[in-house]
Homo-oligomer: A and B are copies of this chain.
Amino acid sequence: MKHKPGKKIKVNRIPERGFYDSETINKIIDEALYCHISFIQDGHPFIIPTIHARMNDHLVFHGAKASRLLEQISSGEEIAVSFTILDGLVLARSVFHHSMNYRSVVIFGKGKLIENKIEKLTALEAITNHILPGRWNDARKPNEKELNATSVVSVKIDEASAKIRSGPPKDEEEDYDLPVWAGVIPFSKKFEQPEEDLKLKSGILLPDYIDKLIKSKS
């Protein structure tokens, strides 16, 4: 699916960095470990970082039933969500052409509370496994009391665009002769060796899916 770039979502500055196809957009949403949600409350702009999962063309979020964010999202008012992955510092010869290599997505949508218990559990499973694939099946599932204390909302992606910069710096022709180091400093996220809980029962080995996460993301 290709999102039609409306006025809100169109990448105006440096249009060749804009992408509107679902494949590009979904890949960035799925790779991002967390996102930032922007919303309006009492006429003020708010912003909150949170974790997410994508289920087809919907995003799901969870939180304490009493939280401002969840209350706001489930009200059905429009929200904007940003997913940003930094890939590197781009050092040009001139300050003006310095940049970052990044992959970012902004989506607009409206939220709806998930009331059905099965749908709620499915969304929580998606959120848990988004961060750490395999974790849901290993950990203790939410009981009735925990489920009741948790709100889960679903947001249909109404509009979306990605903005991507990659590659080396671009300098003014006359600057290539300057004695200034130029290039890219790649940036990566890295999971370190797990720190076992001091109260861990003896005999519990580190599960394979955690070992896999560390090896794949470092």
Contacts and interface: CB of A to CB of B under 8 A. Distances in A.
Interface of A: 8, 12-13, 33-34, 36-40, 43-49, 51, 64, 66-68, 78-82, 84, 86, 89, 91-96, 98, 100, 102, 104, 106, 108, 124, 128, 131-132, 135-136, 138-143, 146, 150, 168-169, 175-201, 204-207, 210, 213-214
Contact of A188 (B80, B140, B192, B199): B192
A84 B190 contact: no
Interface centre among A13, A140, A143, A204 (most CB of B within 10 A): A140
B180 A80 contact: no
B185 A213 contact: yes
Nearest to A42: B8
A189 B191 contact: no
B204 A181 contact: yes
A186 B213 CA distance: 12
A160 B31 CA distance: 29
Contacts of A186: 191-195
A218 to B, nearest CB: 8
Given A91-B132, A98-B139, A140-B94, A38 B49 contact: no
Contact of A48 (B82, B128, B143): B82
Contact of A40 (B45, B169, B199): B45
A207 B195 contact: no
Which are the 6 A-B pairs with shortest beta-carbon distances?
Answer: A38-B38, A38-B47, A186-B192, A94-B140, A96-B146, A182-B197
Contacts of A140: 93-96, 175, 178, 180
Contacts of A34: 84, 86, 100
A86 B12 CA distance: 31
A142 B92 CA distance: 12
A188 B143 CA distance: 33
